[in-house]
Amino acid sequence: MIQLLYFARLREALNMDGEALPLTEAISVSALMASLAARGGAWQEQFDGTRPLRAAINQELVANTALIQPGDEVAFFPPVTGG
Amino acid sequence: MTVRVQQADFDAGEEIRRLRLAHPEAGAVVSFVGQVRDLNQDRQVASLTLEHYPGMTEKSLEAIISSAYQRWNIIDTVVIHRVGTLQPLDQIVLVAVSSAHRGEAFAACEFIMDYLKTDAPFWKKEKTPTGEHWLDARDSDQSAKQRWNG
C-alpha cells in the first residue's frame, strides 16, 4: 500500500484529502500520475501534466522520475505560496 | 534553531529579545516579518487562509535553515509561520537570525525567506468581496531563490 495526500487547490478539485492505494512494486511518480489521470474527469484535468504540480515522497520534494516504494507516503500539491 | 508552525500570533519583539539575550557572542540580530496586505494585485483582501502539510512543513523549514548554517557562520535562528485564517495587518511569518557580525545575519535571513517561499509546503487562499481563490506561485519568487545559486 501507499498513502496518497492531496493539498490546497488539488484537494478541493478532487474533493478528497487523501487515499490508500495498493502497490506491490516500485513505480515512478509520473507513472502514478498517469494512472490517476486515467480515472477521468477532475482526475484527468489535475494529473494530465497541463497544470503545475509538485510531488513529495515521505515528505521530501521529488522529481517526477523518482520511484515510489510500497509503504511510502506520497503527496501531490500545487506550487507553494507561503511566506 | 527554533521552528514553529502555529495558528496563534507571535510577539516578534519578544522573540528577538530572547534570541539576542541567549547569545552574548552574537553582535547582530536580523529579522523579517511578513504581514497580510489589504490589497493584492488590485484585489481587496478580506482574509487569507493558510494551509500546510503537517510534518513536511517543519522538516522542510529545518532543511532550509540547515543549509543556511552550512553557508554562513550564524549563531541561532527563529522561524515562526502561522497557518489558519488571517486578516489584513496580521503577521504571517517571522525569520530572525543572529550572528557575530551583521553581514552573515542579513544574508542568511534573506536566504531562508527566499527558500521558504518556494520550498516550504504552505498554500494561501484569498477571500475577496467577489469570492475565494487559491493564490498562484510567482515567477519572481523562483528567481529570488535562484540568485543564491549564482
Provide the pLDDT for residue B41: 83
* Neighbour tally for B127: CB within 10 Å: 17
Joined grid coordinates for residue A29: 511518480
Provide the pLDDT for residue B68: 98
Q: Does B95 touch chain A (CB under 8 A)?
A: no
Whether residue A78 lies inside any domain: the answer is: no
Whether residue A52 lies inside any domain: the answer is: yes
pTM: 0.95
Dist CA A9 CA B120 (whole Å) = 16
- Give the pLDDT confidence of B12-24 residue by residue, as tens digits: 999 999 999 999 9
Which residue of B3, B49, B56 to mutate against A (max A Cβ within 10 Å)?
A: B56
The domain tally of chain B equals: 1
Of the CA atoms within 13 Å of residue A74, those in its CB half-sphere come to 29
Provide the pLDDT for residue B88: 97
The domain tally of chain A equals: 1
Q: pLDDT digit of tens for each residue in chain B (150 aa)?
A: 999 999 999 999 999 999 999 999 999 999 999 999 998 888 899 999 999 999 999 999 999 999 999 999 999 999 999 999 999 999 999 999 999 999 999 999 999 999 999 999 999 999 999 999 999 998 899 889 999 986
Whether residue A44 lies inside any domain: the answer is: yes
Per the structure, the complete domain to which residue B143 belongs is given by 2-149
Provide the pLDDT for residue A54: 96
Going by C-alpha positions, the residue among B31, B41, B149, B46 that lies closest to residue B99 is B31
Going by C-alpha positions, the residue among A53, A57, A83, A73 that lies closest to residue B5 is A83
Whether residue A77 lies inside any domain: the answer is: no
Question: What ipTM did this prediction achieve?
Answer: 0.94
Whether residue A58 lies inside any domain: the answer is: yes
CATH for B70: 3.90.1170.40
Q: What is the chain A residue with the closest CA to B126?
A: A81
Whether residue A4 lies inside any domain: the answer is: no
Per the structure, the complete domain to which residue A55 belongs is given by 27-69
Maximum alpha-carbon separation in chain B: 52
Q: Does B120 touch chain A (CB under 8 A)?
A: yes
- pLDDT for A41 beyond 90: yes
Whether residue A63 lies inside any domain: the answer is: yes
Provide the pLDDT for residue B42: 84
